[in-house]
Amino acid sequence: MGLLRAGLCPGLTQDVVQLLRGRGIRTVVDLVSADLEEVAQKCGLSYKAGALQRIQVVHAFDIFQMLDALQDLRSTVAQQVSGSSGTVKVVVVDSVTAVVSPLLGGQQREGLALMMQLAQELKTLARDLGLAVVVTNHMTRERDSGKLKPALGRSWSFVPSTRILLDTGEGAGASGSQRTACLIKSPRLPTGFQETVDIGTWGTLKQSPALQGHPT
Amino acid sequence: MCSAFHRAESGTELLARLEGRSSLKEIEPYLFANEDSPVLGDILEFHGPEGTGKTEMLYHLTARCILPKSEGGLEVEVLFIDTDYHFDMLRLVTVLEHRLSQSCEEVVKRCLGRFFLVYCSSSIQLLLTLYSLEAMFCGHPSLRLLIVDSLSAFYWIDRVNGGESVNLQESTLKKCSQFLEKLVKEYRLVLFATTQSIMRKTSHLREGPSSAFTHPSDAGVDYRPYLCKAWQQVVKHRIFFSKDDSKTSNQFSLVSRHLKSNNLKKHFLLLEKVGLSFVHMYHKMVFLQDGVQVLKSL
């Protein structure tokens, strides 16, 4: 009953079935009750590689490379057959300040036009192709008041629909891996909502009170 | 293109058109007092920096228009032109649901049937879309409200595309403004357009378009006109949005200025999950001839 065979679930190819059979795992019950880490190590499987293969990294060190990369992505996604396992769902741009800030400043309006063109490309990906677009930006200080504000100025501030401000945690008991995330702009939720995250364990402090005072 | 169609409207269409004439007066009693209420054929501009509630106000006004009369709406149709891809349908539906006494899917669907949404990604596309939408205004006599969010989305791209000549840079937006004025007057619509504050008030003018529109009664508002003169001339009513940084995070204020009568009013808004609401106290600022301002609280 419930013998493992190829095609039973995604990733279960004939090779994998043979490997598992060699370790004594023949049925679904065997597989589920086995320790997966151990199985993976013994069988030489690396399921992490599969996860890493799904991350595509593109280098873009100036605005034109960035625009080219986004346009390539747009044509690739538009041509892809929907429902295939290789569809892109999230685009992360780290960081947009690095490619745009050299263009700004001075009397050049070409820089601002290129920035708005980049904004349009990103918005097209988000809206027309249904991708989630995440962008990172830096903070600068205002000239007169010295207050911290997001970089890239006013024109860029209209582009993101949601903005989250990340900061290092404060306080005596705070460990080095704590960060606070504050919602400063949202089309649907009230702003000002803040959450503290421990980037060492990737858990929120509320859910794991035992971790407070035990830096990991 | 539509003049023949226009002349041949039926009796019911004529009645619908005339009946709709007064229907927008009550669009927002807090914002528009009797003398300033948007008359059909008016153009209103919402101006402000990011996150100050301009788009949220548009959802508020849209909901008011598309809700049925039994639920406190005006039951008119709305056309929303989105140029910066910010429109959030889920947010509009949330606002609608909170205003309905019984928010069943049928009623929401019927309300959304009175809502039309268009996306534009360049100023040329906006102009061509407006030309082609003329047929729609002909065919929908209950379409009374036109919204453009936002009109300044293509500002920098247009400036670079126009090269060195300021006229060329502004030419498409100028044509859009003139055509919008024609549409609004001919089909008796009200236009709400948002513009973003992308220029700082105190910074020195870069080779910007020359428009000497700094009125002494700007009431300390961070406003520097930068769009073409053709647009400045068609706006009848300008409303400035700002956020009170010192106060609670969901309080906003707006200053509304009627350009002809020069009435200035300040309102406070609260932005909550259920939508926008007005805080009841507001001050009326009246500017006398010698520039002395008198603050009357009502």
One-letter amino acid of A153: G
Q: Is residue B215 part of a domain?
A: no
Q: Decide: residue B195, CB within 10 A, 0-12 exposed, 13-18 middle, 19+ buried.
A: buried
Supply the pLDDT for residue A142.
82
For residue A92, list its beta bridge partners. A134
Q: With respect to residue B287, please indicate whether it lies within any of the assigned structural domains.
A: no
Strand partners, A180: A167, A196
- The mean pLDDT value for A88-109 works out to 86
Nearest to A183 by CA among A172, A193, A168: A193
Helices (H), ranges, chain B: 3-7, 11-19, 54-66, 89-99, 105-112, 123-139, 155-161, 166-186, 229-234
Q: Residue B97 domain-assigned?
A: yes
What pLDDT, on a 0 to 100 scale, did the predictor assign at position A194?
85
* pLDDT value of position A37: 66
Q: A31-40, A88-97, A121-130, A176-185: which has the minimum mean pLDDT?
A: A31-40
Higher pLDDT, A50 or A84: A50
d(CA A128, CA A130) in angstroms, rounded, equals 6
Chain A positions touching chain B (beta carbons under 8 Å): 107, 109-110, 112-113, 115-117, 120, 123-124, 126-127, 154-155, 157-159, 161, 184-185, 187-192
Closest-CA residue of chain A to B121: A120
Is pLDDT of B258 > 50? yes
pLDDT of A212 strictly over 50: no
Mean pLDDT of chain B: 76
Residue with token string 């190590």 = A41
Element (H, E) at B150: none
In a domain, B239, yes or no: yes
What residues of chain A lie within 8 A of the CB of B60, using their CB?
none
The count of structural domains within chain B is: 1
* Residue B127 pLDDT exceeds 90: yes
Please report which confidence band the pLDDT of residue B52 belongs to, taking 50, 70 and 90 as the band edges. Answer: confident
> Which helix (H) or strand (E) is B235 found in, with range?
none
How do residues B161-197 score in pLDDT, each as one tens digit?
A: 888 888 888 899 999 999 999 998 888 888 999 998 8
Residue B291 banded pLDDT, cuts 50, 70, 90: very low
Listed residue (B256, B237, B150, B222) closest to B193, CA to CA: B150
Q: Which residues of B touch A188 (CB under 8 A)?
A: 88, 90-91, 94, 273
* pLDDT value at B292 more than 50: no
Distance from the B142 Cα atom to the nearest Cα atom in chain A, whole angstroms = 29
Instruction: Residue B105: give the domain boundaries.
Output: 25-200+224-279
pTM value > 0.95 = no
Q: Which of A116, A161, A188 faces B86 most closely, judged by CB atoms?
A: A161
pLDDT higher than 80, residue A61: yes
> Which tokens sit at A81?
């057959």
In a domain, B210, yes or no: no
Predicted local confidence at residue B18, as pLDDT = 59
Domain positions in chain A? 1-55, 59-158, 161-206
Tens of pLDDT, residues B25-48 = 667 766 665 556 667 778 899 998
**What's the rounded Cα separation, in Å, for the pair A103 and A62?**
10
Amino acid B32: pLDDT:
66
E strand intervals along chain A: 90-93, 132-135, 139-141, 148-150, 163-168, 178-185, 194-198, 203-204
Per-residue confidence band for B208, with pLDDT thresholds at 50, 70 and 90? very low
Give the mean model confidence (pLDDT) for residues B89-115: 89
3-state secondary structure B169-197: HHHHHHHHHHHHHHHHHHCCCEEEEEEEC
- CATH number of the structural domain spanning residue B104: 3.40.50.300
Q: How crowded is residue B190: how many other Cβ atoms within 10 Å of its Cβ?
A: 25
B271 CB neighbour count, 10 Å cutoff = 21
Q: What is the pLDDT of residue B290?
A: 35
Q: Is 60 exceeded by the pLDDT of residue B124?
A: yes
